[in-house]
Amino acid sequence: MKQINHKSENSFWLKLCEKGIPGIVMAVILGVFIQLKYQYHFFLKEQISFFAFDGQHILSYLNKPSFFSKLVADFISQFFYLRGTAAIIVPLLFLILYFSIKKVIQNFSDGSLGGFYALFPTILIIIFVFNVNTDLTYFISFLLMLLLFEGYSLLPSKWWRSLVIFILIPFLYAAIGGLVSFLGILIFIYEIKNNSYFSLLRRMLTVFILIFSLLVPLMFRYHYAISLSQAFLYPVDYKLVSLGWILAPLFSLLIVILLAEIEDQQYFKLCLCLVSVAFIILIVFGCYTHVNLNLEKLLALDSEWYFGNIDKIYELENKYEYKSSAGACYCNLAHAARGELADRFFDVHQTGPQGLVLPISNKGSYLPIIFANEVYFYLGDVNASQHLALLAMIFSSNHYSSRLLRRLIQVNVINEEYKIAEKYLKILEKTLFHKKWAHNLLLMLNDNDEEKISYISWVRDKRLNVPTKEDLRQTNDCVKAFELLLERNPENLDALHYKLCYHLLGKEVEAFANTFFQFREILLRVRVPKLYQEALVIYYINKPDLELWSQIPVKPAILKKFIEYNNLYVHYQGEGRKLEKNFKNTYWFYYHYAKAEKEE
Amino acid sequence: MVYFKRCKRTKRKFTLMVIVFSFIGCNKLPQLSDAYEFGHSPEIFPDYDGVTVPYNIAPLNFELMDSCQALFVKISSAKGENNFSFRKKKVYFPEKKWKKILSENKGDTVFITIYSKKGDKWRKYNPIHFFVSKDSIDRMLVYRKIMPGYQTWNTMGIYERDLSNFKEKLVLNSEIMPGTCMNCHTFRNNEPDSWLLHLRENFGGTIIFTNDNLKKIQTKIPQTFGSAGFSYWHPSGKYIAFSINKITQIFHGVGKVRAHALDMKSDMVIYDVEKNSFFTSPLINSPDAFEAFPCFSPNGKTLYYVSSPAGELPQDQRKMKYSLCSVSFDEQNGIIGNKVDTLISAKMLNKSVSIPRVSPDGRFIMLTQLDYGNFPAYNPEADLYLYDLKEHKMRALDAFNSNDVESWHCWSSNGRWVVFSSRRRDGLFMDVWIGYIDQNGAPRKPFLLPQKDPEFYDSFLFSFNLPELIKEPISVSPHRIAKVATKSKGQQAEFDTSH
Other CB atoms within a 10 A radius of the CB of residue B8 amount to 10
pLDDT surpasses 80 at A350: yes
The residue of chain A nearest to residue B477, with distances taken between CA atoms, is A222
Query: Is A238 among the domain residues?
Result: yes
- Report whether B172 contacts B182 (CB < 8 A): yes
Regarding whether A390 and A283 lie in a shared domain, the answer is no
- Residue A239's pLDDT band (cuts 50, 70, 90): confident
pLDDT surpasses 60 at B216: yes
Count of CA atoms in the C-beta half-sphere (13 A) of B103: 8
pLDDT surpasses 90 at B318: no
pLDDT digits (tens, 9 = 90+) for A31-51: 999 999 999 999 999 998 899
pLDDT digits (tens, 9 = 90+) for A99-136: 999 999 998 887 778 889 999 999 999 998 999 989 99
Angle (nearest 5°) at CA A304 between A303 and A305: 90
Query: Is A453 among the domain residues?
Result: yes
Residue B156 confidence (pLDDT) = 87
Residue in B329, B150, B143, B348 with CA at minimum distance from that of residue B239:
B329
Helix (H, G, I), strand (E, B) or coil at A525: coil
Binding-site residues on chain B for chain A (CB distance < 8 A): 147-150, 152, 154-155, 170, 173, 175-176, 178, 250-260, 314, 317, 425-429, 453, 455-456, 458-459, 461, 477-479, 482
The residue of chain B nearest to residue A362, with distances taken between CA atoms, is B152
Average pLDDT of chain A?
A: 90
CB under 8 A, 24+ apart: contacts of A520-529 = A520/A548, A520/A551, A520/A552, A522/A490, A522/A491, A522/A493, A522/A496, A523/A496, A524/A551, A524/A552, A524/A553, A528/A552, A528/A553, A528/A554, A529/A342, A529/A343, A529/A345
- Our CA-based measurement puts residue A352 at a distance from the nearest CA of chain B, in whole angstroms, of 24
Q: How many percent of chain B have pLDDT more than 90?
A: 75
The residue of chain B nearest to residue A463, with distances taken between CA atoms, is B254
Q: Which of A271, A291, A311 delimits the end of a domain?
A: A291
Residue A160 confidence (pLDDT) = 86
DSSP state at residue B186: E
The residue of chain A nearest to residue B147, with distances taken between CA atoms, is A394
pLDDT digits (tens, 9 = 90+) for A42-75: 999 999 889 999 888 899 899 899 999 999 999 9
- Report whether A357 contacts A502 (CB < 8 A): yes
What average pLDDT does the segment B354-380 reach?
94
Nearest to A423 among B170, B259, B426 (CB): B426
Nearest to A473 among B148, B253, B456 (CB): B253
pLDDT surpasses 50 at B3: no
Q: How many domains does chain A have?
A: 3
Query: Is A17 among the domain residues?
Result: yes
Question: Alpha helix (H) ranges present in A308-401?
Answer: 310-319, 325-337, 367-379, 382-395
Residue B344 confidence (pLDDT) = 97
Residue in A485, A458, A459, A298 with CA at minimum distance from that of residue A376:
A485
Residue B251 confidence (pLDDT) = 75
Regarding whether A258 and A118 lie in a shared domain, the answer is yes
Query: Is A332 among the domain residues?
Result: no
**Selected residue of B312, B459, B483 to mutate for chain A interface (largest A Cβ count, 10 A):** B459
What average pLDDT does the segment A161-165 reach?
90
The dihedrals phi and psi of A438, each to the nearest 5 degrees, come to -65, -40
* One-letter identity of residue B466: L
Q: Is A393 on the interface with B (CB under 8 A)?
A: yes
- Our CA-based measurement puts residue B51 at a distance from the nearest CA of chain A, in whole angstroms, of 23
Query: Is A266 among the domain residues?
Result: yes
pLDDT digits (tens, 9 = 90+) for A388-397: 898 888 888 7
* One-letter identity of residue A353: P
Residue A474 confidence (pLDDT) = 76
Residue A577 confidence (pLDDT) = 79
- Residue A4's pLDDT band (cuts 50, 70, 90): very low
What average pLDDT does the segment B379-406 reach?
95
Contacts A426 to B, Cβ<8 Å:
458-459
Q: Which of the residue ranges B15-19, B182-186, B205-209 has the most confident prediction, judged by mean pLDDT?
A: B205-209
- Residue B208's pLDDT band (cuts 50, 70, 90): very high
- Residue B29's pLDDT band (cuts 50, 70, 90): low
Residue A55 confidence (pLDDT) = 86
Q: Is A223 on the interface with B (CB under 8 A)?
A: no
Phi-psi region of A353 (alpha: psi -120 to 50; beta: other; left: phi over 0): alpha
> What string of DSSP letters covers A462-487?
HHHHS--S--EE-TT-HHHHHHHHHH
The dihedrals phi and psi of A110, each to the nearest 5 degrees, come to -95, 20
Q: Which of A256, A291, A326 delimits the end of a domain?
A: A291
- Residue A491's pLDDT band (cuts 50, 70, 90): very high
Other CB atoms within a 10 A radius of the CB of residue B395 amount to 14
pLDDT surpasses 90 at B488: no
* Domain hosting residue A74, numbered range: 12-291
Query: Is A223 among the domain residues?
Result: yes
What average pLDDT does the segment B199-209 reach?
91
Residue A541 confidence (pLDDT) = 84
Regarding whether A523 and A378 lie in a shared domain, the answer is no
Query: Is A458 among the domain residues?
Result: yes
Regarding whether A377 and A515 lie in a shared domain, the answer is no
Calculate the alpha carbon distances from A439 to A442, A600, B446 in Å: 5, 39, 33
Regarding whether A531 and A426 lie in a shared domain, the answer is no
Query: Is A137 among the domain residues?
Result: yes
What average pLDDT does the segment A522-527 reach?
92
* One-letter identity of residue A274: L
Contacts B254 to A, Cβ<8 Å:
383, 466-471, 484
CA distance A170 to A146: 17
pLDDT digits (tens, 9 = 90+) for B120-179: 889 999 999 999 999 999 999 999 998 886 555 567 899 999 999 999 999 998 888 887
- Report whether B355 contacts B243 (CB < 8 A): no
Regarding whether A135 and A246 lie in a shared domain, the answer is yes
The residue of chain B nearest to residue A421, with distances taken between CA atoms, is B426
Q: Which of A246, A268, A291 delimits the end of a domain?
A: A291
The residue of chain B nearest to residue A482, with distances taken between CA atoms, is B253
pLDDT digits (tens, 9 = 90+) for B249-275: 777 766 666 777 788 899 999 999 999
Count of CA atoms in the C-beta half-sphere (13 A) of B396: 11
CA distance B326 to A2: 103
- Our CA-based measurement puts residue B339 at a distance from the nearest CA of chain A, in whole angstroms, of 37
Regarding whether A533 and A466 lie in a shared domain, the answer is no
Q: Which domains does chain B have, with CATH numbers?
A: 29-133 (2.60.40.10), 140-492 (2.120.10.30)
Contact B251 A222 (CB under 8 A): no
- Residue A336's pLDDT band (cuts 50, 70, 90): very high
pLDDT surpasses 50 at B4: no
Q: Is A347 on the interface with B (CB under 8 A)?
A: no
Average pLDDT of chain B?
A: 90
Regarding whether A567 and A454 lie in a shared domain, the answer is no
pLDDT surpasses 50 at A493: yes
Regarding whether A535 and A454 lie in a shared domain, the answer is no
pLDDT surpasses 70 at B209: yes
* One-letter identity of residue A248: A
Regarding whether A267 and A135 lie in a shared domain, the answer is yes
CA distance A463 to A461: 6
Regarding whether A442 and A401 lie in a shared domain, the answer is yes
Give the residue with greater pLDDT, B334 vs A196: B334
- Report whether A105 contacts A119 (CB < 8 A): no
Residue A5 confidence (pLDDT) = 53
Contact A362 B154 (CB under 8 A): yes
Regarding whether A276 and A391 lie in a shared domain, the answer is no
Helix (H, G, I), strand (E, B) or coil at B252: strand
